[in-house]
Amino acid sequence: MNYASDPIWWRLRKTIVRDLASLLTAPSPWLSSTELPVSTLLGDEGFRFLLSLDEEPNNLYLFLKQHGAYHTHLGVYAERLLYYWFLHAPHSRLIAHNLPVQDNQRTLGAFDFIVQLNNQIFHLELTCKYYGGLPEKTESFIGLNKADRLIDKMYKIEQQLALSTKPAAKSALKNLSLEPNQLQHASIIRGMLFKQPASQNLQVPLNPLCWQGQYIENWSEFEFQEHYRFHVLDHLSLISPVRVSSNAIVNFNQIKQIQQGMIALVQQHADGYWHEVERIMKTTKHS
């Protein structure tokens, strides 16, 4: 699935609002029985709220500035954006964020979010990951950091969602006037999967309908056309399809020097900006 072609990207212009929208609406890279439905996360008025944020984003910019320390870590940036959403979305009431669970002064973990959405109270865990591999081998999918493995993250999310079942969690929840059995547990899994162009479709438990890109170990594998233009993505520009100005565009001779990284293939639209149409994960050959 090419999530970059979703009509939502024709309406939203500000990068931080586009990133927030992607966290709310993007399909999960792998299938999970605990994934929170997009309709529950977005809410009935959510798209209108995103449009209003795109028109007046100053409060969101200020919030990110006040809750800093995200510039070096994509996961923290994503968490801050959802933190803002749960504080301000019309159907949401944030109960706790990053709530630690301790047992005899030993930290067992932390709840990413405890939030009421409409009339339901959720314990939510967020992850935002980018993996490339062979569609028929779930265990082959890894990140640019080869120690970052999809199967490990799948297991980690399950562990995080089970935190409220630990006896020590009862005390933390009691301080919020909650009992463990009041919580529903759900994941918010975002990111992309990358596969080689000629490979077969993704296999379960990977999500065949997730946002997908090209996985390339050698630039000779890439079917280049003369009119192609590109934008090199930094670590904080991965969450949503990019929309950039002409001075951020490079040609193929420039990007083929990249040994490892993320690159967006872009086309110019009527608004004068260059919009992502496909994404490439370039890595060195895995041993």
Digit-coded pLDDT (tens) for 83-111: 999 999 999 999 999 999 988 878 888 99
pTM: 0.95
Q: What is the mean pLDDT of residues 151-178?
A: 91
Digit-coded pLDDT (tens) for 7-33: 999 999 999 999 999 999 999 999 989
| pLDDT for 286 beyond 60 | no
Can you give the pLDDT at residue 127?
96
- Taking the C-alpha atoms of residue 276 and residue 287, their distance in angstroms, rounded to an integer, is 31
Only one residue has tokens 């008025």, namely 45
Q: Pick the residue with more confidence: 235 or 125?
A: 125
Domain ranges of the chain: 3-282
